[in-house]
């Protein structure tokens, strides 16, 4: 059914490319290498900060294959060959302060990133997960607004998943001028309006003269929806957030069962 000659493969990282212990399986790695040998551009697209993606990109030899990396849910695009930032769109200081006030009214934790550190006023098991995933230092401050005196790439609101679903609806209603999506059930990600993975893939594809129909995107969560809908072939791994299952064209094996390798075997090497 999907027999295009695909030129770009866009991969979400956590819970998609990576296993639950944040590793790239040997199977996925081998198939990505074969896709690259065939001339397919492999792009990582993650909510992670850039610094928490770079070692994986180099492990996949993406810098040697003239590739790109989309970080912070689309707010930054990095040219790996040139080691330069191609695109960057942060939240303003005022927007971050508004989000802080919102988090206080709605009783959630909030983090942002300043000088390569995770900044928050509070401790939380969910903040600990972000620190573990990114490997960034946690800078706990007495006054969040005082600590954030300039723009920053994104914010995350963190709380118990059942409650955070309610907060997501309130935030979307109160701040329709922002881009809001769930990357994990306890991470509600906020970026400037129009900033998401789909928009950044479109930006990159147009720059590289790659057609929408020539793109495969693979993901698992709410912050992947825009790229799954944009790509010619949108793929979920089997561990996708249940209510999103119907959105993709195809569902493959889970992140722990080398779903990315399956995509490459079926739609690129076949």
> Residue 59, Cβ neighbours under 10 Å: how many?
12
pLDDT of 31 reads 98
Exposed (0-12), middle (13-18) or buried (19+): which is 106, by Cβ within 10 Å?
Answer: middle
Looking at the fold, whether 69 and 107 belong to one and the same domain comes out as no
- For residue 173, being part of any structural domain is answered with yes
Distance CA 46, CA 250 (A): 20
Last residue of a domain, one of 192, 219, 236: 192
Q: How far apart are the first and last CA of the chain?
A: 12
Looking at the fold, whether 40 and 83 belong to one and the same domain comes out as yes
Tokens representing 236?
């979920």
Looking at the fold, whether 52 and 72 belong to one and the same domain comes out as yes
For residue 122, what is the domain's CATH number? 3.30.1240.10
Looking at the fold, whether 199 and 256 belong to one and the same domain comes out as yes
Distance CA 53, CA 22 (A): 11
pLDDT tens string 144-163 = 999 999 999 999 999 999 99
pLDDT of 2 reads 55
Looking at the fold, whether 75 and 203 belong to one and the same domain comes out as yes
pLDDT, tens digit only, all 270 positions of the chain: 555 699 999 999 999 999 999 999 999 999 999 999 999 999 999 999 999 999 999 999 999 999 999 999 999 999 999 999 999 999 999 999 999 999 999 999 999 999 999 999 999 999 999 999 999 999 999 999 999 999 999 999 999 999 999 999 999 999 999 999 999 999 999 999 999 999 999 999 999 999 999 999 999 999 999 999 999 999 999 999 999 999 999 999 999 999 999 999 999 998
Looking at the fold, whether 47 and 164 belong to one and the same domain comes out as no
Looking at the fold, whether 103 and 188 belong to one and the same domain comes out as yes
**Beta pairing partners, 126:** none
Contact 117, 130 (CB under 8 A): no
pLDDT of 1 reads 52
**Beta pairing partners, 217:** 10, 234
Looking at the fold, whether 180 and 60 belong to one and the same domain comes out as no
- For residue 2, being part of any structural domain is answered with no
Residue the block writes with tokens 């970026």:
191
- For residue 1, being part of any structural domain is answered with no
Last residue of a domain, one of 165, 192, 219: 192
Helices (H), the chain: 26-37, 54-59, 93-105, 125-134, 144-147, 161-174, 197-207, 225-230, 259-264
3-class DSSP assignment, residue 162:
helix
Looking at the fold, whether 163 and 100 belong to one and the same domain comes out as yes
Tokens representing 184?
């994990």
Looking at the fold, whether 26 and 160 belong to one and the same domain comes out as no
User: Can you count the helices (H) and strands (E) in the chain?
Assistant: 9, 14
> Residue 68, Cβ neighbours under 10 Å: how many?
26
pLDDT of 4 reads 66
Contact 43, 61 (CB under 8 A): no
In total, how many domains does the chain have?
Answer: 2
- For residue 127, being part of any structural domain is answered with yes
For residue 208, what is the domain's CATH number? 3.40.50.1000
Q: Which residues form the domain of 149?
A: 93-192
Q: DSSP label at 267?
A: I
Last residue of a domain, one of 173, 192, 211: 192
């Amino acid at each position: 059914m999907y027999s295009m000659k695909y030129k770009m493969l866009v991969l979400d990282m956590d819970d998609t490319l990576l296993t639950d212990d944040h590793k790239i399986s040997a199977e996925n790695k081998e198939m990505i290498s074969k896709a690259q040998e065939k001339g397919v551009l492999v792009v990582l697209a993650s909510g992670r900060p850039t610094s928490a993606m770079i070692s994986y990109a180099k492990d996949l030899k993406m810098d040697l294959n003239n590739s790109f990396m989309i970080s912070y849910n689309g707010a930054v695009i990095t040219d790996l060959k040139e080691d330069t930032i191609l695109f960057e769109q942060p939240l303003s200081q005022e927007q971050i302060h508004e989000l802080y006030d919102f988090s206080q009214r709605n009783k959630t934790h909030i983090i942002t990133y300043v000088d390569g550190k995770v900044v928050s006023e509070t401790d939380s098991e969910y903040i600990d997960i972000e620190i573990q995933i990114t490997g960034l230092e946690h800078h706990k401050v007495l006054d969040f607004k005082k600590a954030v005196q300039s723009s920053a790439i994104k914010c995350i609101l963190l709380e118990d998943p059942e409650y955070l679903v309610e907060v997501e609806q309130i935030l979307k209603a109160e701040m329709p001028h922002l881009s809001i999506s769930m990357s994990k059930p306890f991470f509600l990600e906020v970026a400037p309006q129009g900033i998401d993975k789909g928009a950044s893939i479109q930006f990159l594809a147009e720059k590289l003269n790659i057609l929408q129909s020539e793109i495969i995107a693979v993901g698992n969560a709410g912050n992947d929806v825009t790229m799954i809908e944009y790509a010619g072939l949108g793929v979920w791994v089997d561990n996708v957030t249940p209510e999103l299952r119907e959105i993709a064209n195809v569902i493959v094996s889970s992140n722990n069962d080398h779903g990315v390798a399956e995509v490459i075997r079926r739609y690129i090497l076949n």
